A = this chain, B = another copy of it.
Amino acid sequence: MTKQVNFEKIAHQPAYRVVSEKIRNAIVSGEIKTGELLPTETKLAEQFGVTRSTVREAIRLLEHGGILGRADRKRLVATLPPTETVGRSVSSALLMHQVTYEELWQVAMGLEPLASKLACTAATRKDKLLLAANLVHTREIMDDHDALLDAEIEFHNLLAEATHNSALLLARAPLNELFYPAAWGAVIRALSPGERILVAHQHIYGAICENNPDKAEEWMKKHMLDFRRGIEMGNLGFDQPVKG
C-alpha cells in the first residue's frame, strides 16, 4: 500500500445542468419574479451561449419540479412550485415504497387532530364559511359515495388550509392523495350511511366556531378511529400496501 496523491474529483457538470441551475437561482433569488415570463428559448440560448436543444433540456429539468410552468401552453412562466406538485411527488414516492394503510393512518392520527386544534385559533371568517359550505354540500350528496369522498377530502383540506400552515399542508398531502381515496371503499361500507362521518365533521366545525381546541382535537381523533375501524373491518388488511 504505497502512498498516493489524491486529486479531488473534478466537477464538470453537463451544460444543461449548469443552465438549469442558473435559471433556478434566478427564480428562487427573486431576480425573476413568480408569474413573470421567461425569455424565449432562442434568447436564452443566445444569453447562455449554448444551443436551443441544451436550453430545452435545462427547462425540462425544472419543469418537472414545478418551478417552471406554462402560461398558455406557449410561453414559459416562473412559478413557485405549487404544493400540489410537490405533494404529488411525495405521494408517488410513497406508493413506490409500498407504504401501508397503517403507516398512513398513523401519520393521519398525528396530523389531522393537530390541524383541527390549530384551526381553532387560526381560522378566519372566510375559512369558516368555506367549511360551512362544505357541510351543507355534504348533506346534499349523502348517497353518492364518490361525491362523498370528494367532500370528505375537501373538508379535511379546508381544515388544513384554515391553519394557514404551509408545512402542515405539505406534510399531509399524501393523506389527500393516497390515504382517503384508498381507504374510502372499506370505510364507507363499514360506516354504512355516511351519517357518522357528517356528525364528526359537524362537531369539529362547531368546535372551531366555539374556539374550543380540545374539543376539535378530540372529535378528529374519534373520526380517525372510525377510519381505522373501517379499514380493519373491510377486506383490505391494515398492514397491506396502499394501491394507487
Contact = CB atoms under 8 A, between A and B. Distances in A.
Contacts of A57: 56-57, 60
Taking residues whose C-beta sits less than 8 angstroms from the other chain, chain A's interface range is: 35 or more
Contact of A81 (B86, B93, B166, B170): B93
Interface string A74-99: 00000011010010011011111101
B96 A86 contact: no
With a 10 A CB-CB cut-off, give which of A57, A118, A163, A171 has the most chain B CB atoms. Answer: A171
Q: Name the prevailing secondary structure of the A interface residues.
A: helix
A89 to B, nearest CB: 6
What is the copy number of this chain in the assembly?
A: 2
Interface stretch (A100-108, A135-143, A144-152, A226-234): A100-108
B111 A96 contact: no
A144 to B, nearest CB: 22
Contacts of A96: 28, 80-81
Given A64-B62, A86-B89, A90-B86, A107 B53 contact: no
A218 interface: no
A16 interface: yes
Contacts of A110: 110-111, 114, 168
Contact of A53 (B53, B81, B86): B53
Interface of A: 16, 28, 53, 56-58, 60-66, 80-81, 83, 86, 89-90, 92-97, 99, 103-104, 106-107, 109-111, 114, 118, 163, 165-168, 170-172, 174
16 contacts: A16-B60, A56-B57, A57-B57, A57-B60, A65-B65, A66-B93, A80-B93, A80-B97, A86-B90, A90-B170, A104-B167, A107-B114, A109-B114, A110-B168, A111-B111, A171-B171
